[in-house]
Structure 1
Amino acid sequence: MALDKKAGYRKNFSLGIIFIGLISILFILSLFLAFNYSKKSIENDFVAEKVNVLEQSIKPYNDFFQNKMPEISYYNGYLDSATASRFVDTLILKYPFVSKVTFYDTEVKNVPVKDGVNANHLGIGPKAIFQFGKQVSPDSIKIYSEDNTRSFNVGDDFNAMAIKLATFVEDLDTAAVPTQEELFTNFSIVNSNDNKITYLNIPRREDLKTYKDMVRRKLDPSPVYQQDVLVFKLDANKIKIVNTRPLLYQTIRIEPLTYDPIDTSEENITTEIALPGAFSDFKLYLISSKSYIKKEIFIYFMPIALVLLLVYGVLLLVAFLIYRNLNINSKMFKLQYDFVNNLTHEFKTPVSVIKIAGNNIKSATSLSERELNLYGKILDEEADKLNGLMNKLLAFTQIENKAIKLNQEEVNIEDFIESTIESHTLKHPDFQITYEVLGFKTFITDPVLLGSLFDNLAENAYKYSKPDHKKLHISAKLIKGVLVFRFADKGIGIAASELNNIFKKFFRIQNEYNQMGSVGLGLAFCKELVNFMEGEITVKSKVGTGTEFKIVLPYNN
């Protein structure tokens, strides 16, 4: 039987080790996969997040192109040099990437112009040209005036816009209404090669119809219309880069679209994205070292690792609880197994003695008076043993389940202790018991339960003492309103490692005194008795010196 139990225990332990090993392997594998997933995710983000960087960085440019630049149309062609200068000052302050603005104070006539573009009877030319910007000196702001008799090259930007206006007017369907998007597209030119945007204020619909008539014929009187053409020179290097992922992108630069770095170290990761519109000859160049990216990978990986660690910890806790439960069950099975064996022995011994005595009486032809007394005494003692054992089991169950009531009787403590001493010295003549009482004489308690408590502790003191050390000292004192009883013997003592278990049911200390004749209920019964009487029991012991049980009970008088 013992071998089977040990084998079962080893089997349970092995299963636990296998379970812990499997979840540990899964945990390590999960960490490895989670790290690879984090690395792949960050690498994908490195490529994808550049779109957000681009969107945030060119947000001012989009605002300039879509909102600020069309404000020129509000002046309906009557923008003068002073107003244009103020407009450009606010523009450069808000949009630093605008480096210079050339302003063409333009006229559309029904006669040919000297400097500009002529389309049949339609002439488009500048009345004056101004340039504004931080790098423009005050004496070079005005660069052209129609009063100048010399021929002047007004520039490709102006001519391109004038040609575009003339073409639009020639193809204009006066019966249809052009959309704002069509107008904006036809009256602006984005030149990515020179990073310029040319814009002509959008004429009114009535003016466009008149321009169409001016292309076909001479009108009388000859009309003159005012238009404003502005050429914005842009500097891509003045774009403020907004790094939306500073932990992902270590460095972000604006480079020409054809830029190809000579240093292509494997220690770095790079990606790029082209700028839009007038900056389309440039790109955002994003670069980070692999060691820099690792920080972001670990930031992404750590929460996943913590979750996996939490799951691993829970599984380890479950494994521990299962192991502990199996261990407890194994110990409980052993305790119950030993209890049944010992209980069987306890019952079997007196039953065997009773049966032998009965057989002797039955087989004897005649018995002397001495023999009759001897057999009668044997039968009486063995019956008392059986009765005492059954009473202890019954009382333990009743007290444990609170099935009995606590009787309240006045007890004279000296008489009570002396009665206990007399009972045990009659049974064990070599048992030396002394006592002392201090601070009280009587108190209210249940004498039957108190007697069971005293008897169990006295019996233990006798049983677990060597023949020449069977001594017990009982003290009863009233201390600070409570009764303190001490049972100090000179027995074999209890190891410190066993002290926490001695009050457990079915627990027996393994020594030569417990091989047979104990079911492990004595001290557990004492513990239940004291708890039932609303008291407390503790123990201190030293191996080879002795044991002292201390009982504290409420003082009722």
Structure 2
Amino acid sequence: MRGQNAVFRKNFSLIVAFLVLTSVTLIIGLVVAYQLTSKNIESEFVSKKTNVADQTIGPYIDLYKNKIFEINLYSGLLDSASAAYYADSVFHNYPFVNKLVFFQIVVSSRGRYMGNNLKVVARSVFEYHPHKKTFKESRLDDEANANDFRQMAERLTSYIARYDTLRGPGPDLQATFYNTRPGKVSFLNIPSNADLKAYHDLLKGAGSSEAFYKQNMMTFYLDPYKIKIKNVHPELYSSVTIRQVSYDPPDIDRTKILTDEVPLPGAFSDYKLYFSSPREHLNNEIYHRFLPVGGVLLVIYSIFILIGWLIYRNLSVNMKLFKLQYDFINNFTHEFKTPVSVIKIAGSNLKGDSDLTDRQRKHYGKILDEEADKLNELMNKLLSFTQLENKSITIKKDKVKIEAFVKGYIDTFKIKYPQFKLDYAIDAGAKYFYTDTVLLGSVFQNLIENAYKYSHPDMKELFINITLERRNIVFSFIDKGIGIPKNELNNIFRKFYRLENQYNQNGSVGLGLAFCKELANFMNGDITVKSRVGIGSEFVVTLPYEN
């Protein structure tokens, strides 16, 4: 027995070690997962800012590459009215444009000289403002307008001077007619190849002095603070603002607030997108992303715990099974050993040299007969149990007169145990029913025998009550025995299970109640028990009532 306990403790220690190791692994996994998630969030804080910048500056890029380029479609024929329609569409779609200046330009060989024989003249200038239905004519002597016009005129004449009439426009054509400065963009519609050749001829003094050509120039004034910021990653950036490039907030605790920035392109080059997030804001995102990972780890941990519990349960079941088998072997050996010993003693006396009287011979014969019956009963019970489990027997239903059947067993046990008080009661409607009398008799035999065996010497009583309930017949065996502890009620119908008490030290292999359970189930019925320690037990056998 010591070896058995030692094996069990060793296995239990292994399970405990397994659970501890699994728990430590879970904790390490959770810590590593949290740290990796935190590092990943901080990395995304740095890398995902370009996504916000691209989305935010997208309308400016569209204005620069598409909307401004629409001026080319008018081929220099825009007037103040059509320019007003164009300006309205710009203000509607691009709120960060807060003013638009339109220049009607004439290129000829007469007028104000900008270089050699080529003259570029701003005939009229108009200003357009958002949310205003009217526009006003401006003046070229306005310093800002004059500078914008002069710079663009210089770009034009410089390009014409290096223009190759044989090769056509160079790769720098579009860049020449854009003039991007902080806060504004100027654009002069790109002349056709024919116009470029004509401008080149005028520049060289070869063109007609009467010829002139129209050009349109627009200057877009941009307000960076009116750009709509598209924070496509609010989980990372709690605040995204537009600041000047030189902006550097003082007294920021970098351990509590993360900041970063992205410079804006083109006309907004003096400004930047400024990103900031408190640690608490990022921690929320860390927890949000960590929870699924932690959940997966907990599921894996639960699976391992379940495996550990199944191993532990399997060990416990195996140990209990081992104990049951061990007890069964001991009790079965004792059950066989006692009658075999008695038979051997009786046989030795019969074959001895001394003469036996008739009375002695009959006595030994009775002993041999009784012990042989015990052996035969034990073997039959084991054989029947095996047949029931393998479903190798069939039910032979006979018509059973209930009262006669019950009274027969009561009379038999009264003869066998004269001090056993037995009584019964039967419902008036329960006359007879069809069942297997042998199987039902085995149930009666075992339950009545148990009632006598597990009762105090002065309280050996049993009352059998037979009632009808719907389509079932119910046999209740009510005794005043020692009772069964509540925690044992689920075990008593298990094969080889024995209650440890003073009435069960010898003479039982733990098959009686298990045999009754198998018999009841085999006859499409059931058996249940209610018991209180020191008061008694009630075994209830329920079978189909067929009449």
Taking structure 1 as the reference length, the TM-score comes to 0.94
SS of the aligned residue for 1:467 comes to coil
Distance in 2 of aligned mates of 1:474 and 1:88? 107
Distance in 2 of aligned mates of 1:522 and 1:465? 16
Q: Does 1:259 align with 2:247?
A: yes
Q: Do 1:254 and 1:285's aligned partners in 2 also have CA atoms closer than 8 Å?
A: yes
Distance in 1 of aligned mates of 2:3 and 2:397? 51
After superposition, give the CA deviation of every residue in 1:278-316 in whole Å (9 maximum; x if it has no partner). 111110000111111111111111111111111111111
Look up the equivalent residue of 2:394 and give its one-letter code: K
After superposition, give the CA deviation of every residue in 1:447-471 in whole Å (9 maximum; x if it has no partner). 1111111110111011101111111
Among 147, 161, 166, the alignment partner of 1:170 is: 161
Shift in Å, 1:346: 0.5
SS of the aligned residue for 1:518 comes to coil
Among 410, 416, 434, the alignment partner of 2:399 is: 410
2:54 aligned partner: 55
Look up the equivalent residue of 2:193 and give its one-letter code: R
1:533 aligned partner: 523
Look up the equivalent residue of 2:258 and give its one-letter code: I
Shift in Å, 1:176: 1.7
Shift in Å, 1:174: 1.3
After superposition, give the CA deviation of every residue in 1:221-264 in whole Å (9 maximum; x if it has no partner). 43111111111111111111001011221111111111111122
Distance in 1 of aligned mates of 2:131 and 2:244? 23
2:121 aligned partner: 125
Among 290, 294, 318, the alignment partner of 1:329 is: 318
Q: Does 1:238 align with 2:226?
A: yes
1:485 aligned partner: 475
Q: Does 1:141 align with 2:130?
A: no
1:187 aligned partner: 177
Aligned pairs for 1:131-530 within 5 A: 131-134=127-130, 141-144=136-139, 155-178=146-169, 182-192=172-182, 195-266=183-254, 267-438=256-427, 439-530=429-520
Shift in Å, 1:472: 1.2
Q: Do 1:106 and 1:126's aligned partners in 2 also have CA atoms closer than 8 Å?
A: yes
Shift in Å, 1:112: 4.4
Shift in Å, 1:412: 2.0
May I ask how many residue pairs the two structures share in their alignment?
545
Q: Do 2:430 and 2:468's aligned partners in 1 also have CA atoms closer than 8 Å?
A: yes
Distance in 2 of aligned mates of 1:292 and 1:312? 30
Q: 1:12 to 1:103 in 2, by over 3 A?
A: same
Distance in 2 of aligned mates of 1:374 and 1:51? 110
Across the aligned residues of Structure 1 and Structure 2, the Cα RMSD in angstroms comes to: 1.9
Distance in 2 of aligned mates of 1:386 and 1:119? 135
Distance in 2 of aligned mates of 1:523 and 1:370? 39
Q: 1:324 to 1:126 in 2, by over 3 A?
A: same
SS of the aligned residue for 1:469 comes to coil
Q: 1:110 to 1:517 in 2, by over 3 A?
A: same
Distance in 2 of aligned mates of 1:126 and 1:281? 30
Shift in Å, 1:144: 2.8
Q: 1:78 to 1:426 in 2, by over 3 A?
A: same
Q: Do 2:83 and 2:102's aligned partners in 1 also have CA atoms closer than 8 Å?
A: yes
Q: Do 1:121 and 1:218's aligned partners in 2 also have CA atoms closer than 8 Å?
A: no
Range moving further from structure 2, 434-443 or 463-472: 434-443
SS of the aligned residue for 2:152 comes to helix
SS of the aligned residue for 2:289 comes to helix
SS of the aligned residue for 1:111 comes to strand
SS of the aligned residue for 2:110 comes to coil
Look up the equivalent residue of 1:108 and give its one-letter code: V
Distance in 1 of aligned mates of 2:367 and 2:210? 153
Range moving further from structure 2, 370-379 or 414-423: 414-423
SS of the aligned residue for 1:514 comes to coil
After superposition, give the CA deviation of every residue in 1:79-110 in whole Å (9 maximum; x if it has no partner). 11222222212212211111222222111111
Distance in 1 of aligned mates of 2:40 and 2:200? 60
Shift in Å, 1:153: 8.9
After superposition, give the CA deviation of every residue in 1:52-103 in whole Å (9 maximum; x if it has no partner). 1111101110110111001111111121122222221221221111122222
Taking structure 2 as the reference length, the TM-score comes to 0.96
2:541 aligned partner: 551
Distance in 1 of aligned mates of 2:399 and 2:409? 17
Distance in 1 of aligned mates of 2:49 and 2:471? 81
Distance in 2 of aligned mates of 1:315 and 1:197? 66
Range moving further from structure 2, 150-159 or 446-455: 150-159
Distance in 2 of aligned mates of 1:103 and 1:479? 104
After superposition, give the CA deviation of every residue in 1:535-557 in whole Å (9 maximum; x if it has no partner). 12111111111111111111222
Q: 1:317 to 1:48 in 2, by over 3 A?
A: same
